[in-house]
Structure 1
Amino acid sequence: MSYLHSYLTAVGGLLAGLAAAAPLIVWQRRILLYQRRALADRARDRDRWYRLATRNETTDLPNRRALLTHLDATLSLGEPLGLVLVDLDRFKHVNDVHGHEHGNDLLTEVGRRLSAIGPPVVLAVHLSGDEFALAVHGDTADTAAAAHTAHRRISHRPYDIAGQQISLTASVGYAVAAPHMLSRDLLHAADQAMYLAKRASTGLHAHDPARDTPGPAARYRDLP
């Protein structure tokens, strides 16, 4: 009998202990669940802010920051790299005639066409306004081919925006990275080529270090 009594007493104590500990276990589980949710929310916020920092809000394409990060990484590896800059001609007229909302729709469609080019184009970027860029992993021939493809895709067929047919042309400049070149130098070289294409109304221009004026060049948008 004493053995049974001792057993029942032990079981009773165990059950009492479990009953006392139950609220604590529930509370610990709630804390763990809260922590997991907080970490998930924090990760989502981090991803959202990163996306806002590296994406153009109009077209959702990578932006200038994303481009410079990619150029820096590629140049640091010594890989062949070309850059194509694309500026839409007379885009202000499109906004004036069709409105900014339709203008944004047009920019989005331009971004889609450029994004669909594929290798050796590895990144299609919306820099700002009506200006786009393509990062090319390749040599001069690859970069020239990408520039011609971009020019053709933008202008070869009209855009259907809200039931209206809108035609576009573009000025395209391109450059290839030289040894020890920095991202800002490559961007400047392609920018200068795009300015020359705009000024000469040729549509396309390749940066030539031996011919093009070195140093800061006036941008077409800076001209009177």
Structure 2
Amino acid sequence: MSTALESVLTAAGGVLAGIAVVAVPLLRLRHALQLARYQASHDDTTGLPNRRALLTALRRSIVDGRPFGLILLDLDQFKAVNDTYGHEAGNDLLTVVGQRLTGLPTPVRLAARLSGDEFAVLVDGGPDEVRVAAWDAAAVVASEPAVLDGGVRVTARASVGYTTSRLGDTPRDLLRDADQAVYHAKTHGCGVSRYQPTSTPAAAPRCQDTGQRCRDHR
């Protein structure tokens, strides 16, 4: 092999080695950035999108201009599960509920965990689609016992409230209205409640069940 060729190969090898030296840290940096972005937008316990991710999705839906709805779910008696079976069992229940909500079919676009035992579901479509999705969410949470740490089986239930988008709504408006509906469902024990704007704010949420105080039966 000629001296010139040896020099070329040596130089090429040095260049490749240099590229490899630079590429490895860059690859690690890229993975670190991807992990940081994921952790910033996802819940540690369930792996679901978190409140930050939900707010981003709500803003995009508002800008998009097509009808959509927001469903909030608050697990019933979750504190009793934590107190009776321990924190890890409570985390197991949150994870199971999150998986079930994630499996809801279209037009459900996003299921998120907000905090504690509160979940949210973002739905594309008008009032009818959102109402059906709210009932489906309540049903899937209680569909069968969840198997927790140590083999304990617990049947979960949730109080559900929902609202549909209106012109001029902000993400905070939607969260507030759906939260009022959840509170109404929980305090009246009627399962699913919708928020309907009226001239009397306290009367805005409406239960949707078969009880005498509930209206707009499924």
On whether the aligned pair clears a TM of 0.5, the verdict is: yes
Under a length normalisation based on structure 1, what TM-score does the superposition of the two structures give?
0.84
Letter in 1 for 2:62: L
* C-alpha distance in 1 between matches for 2:97 and 2:200: 29
Q: 1:10-47, CA deviations, whole angstroms, 9 ceiling, x for partnerless residues?
A: xx9xx333434544332211111122222221221111
Give 1:220's aligned residue. Answer: none
Residues 143-152 or 27-36, more deviating:
27-36
Report the counterpart of residue 14 of structure 2 in structure 1. 27
State the alpha-carbon separation in 1 of the partners of residues 124 and 199 from structure 2. 24
1:32-68 Cα distance to aligned partner (Å, 9 max, x none): 1122222221221111011100110000011111111
Q: Secondary structure at the match of 2:122?
A: strand
Alignment of structure 1 residues 133-212 onto 2, 5 Å:
133-161=120-148, 162-210=150-198
TM-score (norm 2): 0.86
The one-letter amino acid of 2:123's match is V
CA distance in 2, matches of 1:82, 1:212: 22
Aligned partner of 2:146: which letter?
A: Y
Please tell me the root mean square deviation across aligned C-alpha atoms, in Å. 1.7
Shift of 1:205: 0.9
Return the alpha-carbon distance in structure 2 between the equivalents of residues 143 and 211 of structure 1. 23
Q: Secondary structure at the match of 1:79?
A: coil
Q: Does 1:96 align with 2:83?
A: yes
User: Identity of counterpart residues, as a percentage?
Assistant: 38
Q: Unaligned 5+ residue runs, structure 1?
A: 1-11, 215-224
Runs of at least 5 residues in structure 2 that lack an aligned partner in the other structure:
203-218
| Secondary structure of residue in 2 paired with 1:117 | coil
* 4+ runs deviating over 3 angstroms: 17-24
- Secondary structure in 2 matching 1:179: coil
Other-structure match for 2:214: none
User: Distance in 2 between the 1:66 and 1:117 partners?
Assistant: 18
CA distance in 2, matches of 1:110, 1:191: 19
- Distance in 2 (CA, whole Å) between partners of 1:137 and 1:154 is 20
Aligned length: 201
Equivalent position of 1:218 in the other structure: none
Which entry has the higher C-alpha Rg, 1 or 2? Answer: 1
* Structure 1 pair 156–24 and aligned structure 2 pair: CA distance change class (3 A): closer
| Closer/same/farther in 2, CA of residues 43 and 103 from structure 1, 3 Å limit | same
